[in-house]
Amino acid sequence: MDLQEMQLKNGSVLVSITGYCGETDFYAMYDIIKELLAPEHITYGVDSMCVDGSFRKDGILVRMSSECVTDCCCFHYDAANMGQEEIEKVKAWISQIVAELHRRFPK
């Protein structure tokens, strides 16, 4: 699985999924999150530029988008305001989601 992780100046982290982009891949990712993680809250919205959304699990907010600086589906989380255990949880969730995305929709 090819993930690109970028540390942003504000301490947050952007994780892009190479090879997956656009609405179709975003909706697949959204469905996988609902099924695998069963978050307390999940939402998305559509505008003229992209589809984006977020989910909250175990009190942790993770945002996701179909268009970002890398033009890939991506995740974004605020590592600066998280403990190491929470960061590891988010990384594990992202790995699970991306592995399932690759399994269902190989590219």
What mean pLDDT value characterizes the chain? 92
Q: What is the pTM of this model?
A: 0.91
Of 75, 69, 31, 81, nearest to 52 by C-alpha is 75
Q: Bin 36: left if φ > 0, else alpha if -120 < ψ < 50, else beta.
A: alpha
Q: Considering the domain 3-104 in this protein, what is its CATH number?
A: 3.30.310
Domain boundaries along the sequence of the chain? 3-104
DSSP β-bridge partners for residue 44? 53
> Contact 79/11 with Cβ under 8 angstroms?
yes
Residue 1: what pLDDT? Answer: 58
Q: One-letter amino acid identity for 86?
A: E
Q: Do residues 77 and 91 make contact, with C-beta atoms less than 8 angstroms apart?
A: no
| pLDDT confidence of residue 31 | 97
Strand order in the sheet with 73-77: 3-7, 13-17, 73-77, 60-65, 51-57, 41-46
The per-residue pLDDT for range 65-87, each reduced to its tens digit, is: 987 555 789 999 999 999 999 99
Q: Which portions of the chain are predicted below pLDDT 70?
A: 1, 68-70
